[in-house]
Amino acid sequence: MRTRTDLVEDLMGRFPHVPREAVLKEDLLRGGMAFDESVLTDGDDGEVKPKSYFIFSFDHRTLPELGAAALRRPPEEVVLTGGPYDLRRTVVSVRVNPDSPYRVMAGEDGVARLHLDGRPIADVGLPPMPDYYRHTLTNGKSVMEVAPTIQWGYLIYLTVFRVCQYFGAKEECQYCDINHNWRQHKAAGRPYTGVKPVDEVLEALEIIDRYDTTGTSHAYTLTGGSVTSKVDGLAEADFYGRYAKAIEERFPGRWIGKVVAQALPRADVQRFHDYGVRIYHPNYEVWDKRLFELYCPGKERYVGREEWHRRILDSAEVFGPRNVIPNFVAGIEMAEPFGFTTVDEAIASTAEGLQYFMSCGILPRFTTWCPEPTTPLGRTNPQGAPLEYHIRLLETYRATMEANGLSTPPGYGPPGAGNAVFSVSSFMDTLPADAPVSA
């Protein structure tokens, strides 16, 4: 019988120019990893930085199903090194799946290792609890709740609106569990602030600024669900913009400011820019027209795919093309029952979208799809997309980028296997290490 090790090693052999680190990272991101109790974090009081559930669950089970792995919290990320594949330092976001053939456990020597099919394949470094997580806001809230950091501390992730106004089967994106994740944290009695007050965000950032003495944090992302009516009496651009304005007034230029929002009309985008936001992520999610309509019914109804794309191009005139970085969810192109049935077709479609944007100087990026079990696509595709799709996407992405003369995007830290910190896909691990970085 073909094991997961066979699959991984076959792809490493067939795609030798894709770093081995990226092959394993993509497999861990699409399928998750299991955690032995010996490597859980003990939550807020331990020595290891816990998983913050910064926007989506990014797990293959619900919190009640995860039991101890949820209560004692897995780490936010792991860093892999060494082992039989001689891995360079590889940062991987943690997606928990108790049934995964990948398992993290501590050996008798106390060293945590990643096992695949029962064989140790990498040493595992766990993220240390940052100093700033040991302090609380004056109202008692934790910094992890208000301003968690990911990407090994590089990025402060400010999900200031924890739900999405696209609601229910006819509006929610079919791969997104933001609303379910909100409900499950509330049901578990965890603090999970729906709308984060601006002064709480500023206070949490002050704590980070004070205690991040090694200067690890370089950027912040303002994000959350889409706003189709109003939140706190504000439409989407004003709602997210008020945080950017307050942050940039209080900490001018301290971090690279990014906003993930809908593709908004040009005047709204201009306001983001005027407030000091440097990078705009109007995520296009999936390129194929039919799949966008099926998977993003809310976005299709309120904005529409063609208008969405037109606004992405418009925003490049405001921010400059290099600073417009729309995301897509890599893998949903192949989700049953509507997706492409062959890797060739899926890659051809995605490559068309990459070329469309890259030919305009806009460099999209992607996160690797995690098929969360409470989403429609996760339910019908618990295994996610084929690993070969993810590996060929890395190859296609780099080739399209180079063909269009583009270099590493700003705001993602260093590129290259062994250097990258971007943890939710391996596109940065796959770019050349000596590629120029703009920020």
Any idea of the CA torsion for 81, 93, 327, 175, to the nearest 10 degrees? 140
Task: Select 173 or 421, whichever has its Cβ closest to ligand SF4.
Answer: 173
DSSP 8-state symbol, 196: -
- C-beta of 286: minimal distance to ligand SF4 in Å? 11
- C-beta of 214: minimal distance to ligand SF4 in Å? 33
List the structure tokens of 219. 């950027």
Q: CA-CA distance, 278 to 283, in Å (whole number)?
A: 16
Query: Facing residues of 124 across strands?
Result: 80
Task: Select 298 or 416, whichever has its Cβ closest to ligand SF4.
Answer: 298
Task: Select 8 or 158, whichever has its Cβ closest to ligand SF4.
Answer: 158
DSSP 8-state symbol, 9: H
In order, the DSSP letters of 55-92 are: SS---SS-HHHHTHHHHT--BSEEEEEETTTTEEEEEE
Task: Select 367 or 419, whichever has its Cβ closest to ligand SF4.
Answer: 367
- C-beta of 201: minimal distance to ligand SF4 in Å? 19
Task: Select 150 or 176, whichever has its Cβ closest to ligand SF4.
Answer: 176
DSSP 8-state symbol, 153: T
- C-beta of 245: minimal distance to ligand SF4 in Å? 22
Q: Who contacts 28 (Cβ-Cβ below 8 Å, separation ≥6)? A: 92, 95, 102
Q: CA-CA distance, 38 to 110, in Å (whole number)?
A: 9
For the beta carbon of residue 223, count every other beta carbon within 10 angstroms: 20
Q: CA-CA distance, 23 to 3, in Å (whole number)?
A: 15
- C-beta of 114: minimal distance to ligand SF4 in Å? 30
In order, the DSSP letters of 346-406 are: HHHHHHHHHHHHHTTT---EEEE----TTSHHHHH-TT-S-HHHHHHHHHHHHHHHHHTT-
- For the chain, the C-alpha Rg in angstroms (whole number) is 20
- C-beta of 370: minimal distance to ligand SF4 in Å? 13
The contact set with ligand SF4 (CB under 6 A) reads 164, 166, 172-173, 176, 178, 225-226
- Tell me phi and psi for residue 434, to 5 degrees: -95, 10
- C-beta of 225: minimal distance to ligand SF4 in Å? 4
Task: Select 163 or 362, whichever has its Cβ closest to ligand SF4.
Answer: 163
Task: Select 164 or 247, whichever has its Cβ closest to ligand SF4.
Answer: 164
- C-beta of 356: minimal distance to ligand SF4 in Å? 21
Task: Select 124 or 424, whichever has its Cβ closest to ligand SF4.
Answer: 424
Position 40, amino acid: L
- C-beta of 338: minimal distance to ligand SF4 in Å? 17
Q: Who contacts 140 (Cβ-Cβ below 8 Å, separation ≥6)? A: none
Task: Select 10 or 300, whichever has its Cβ closest to ligand SF4.
Answer: 300
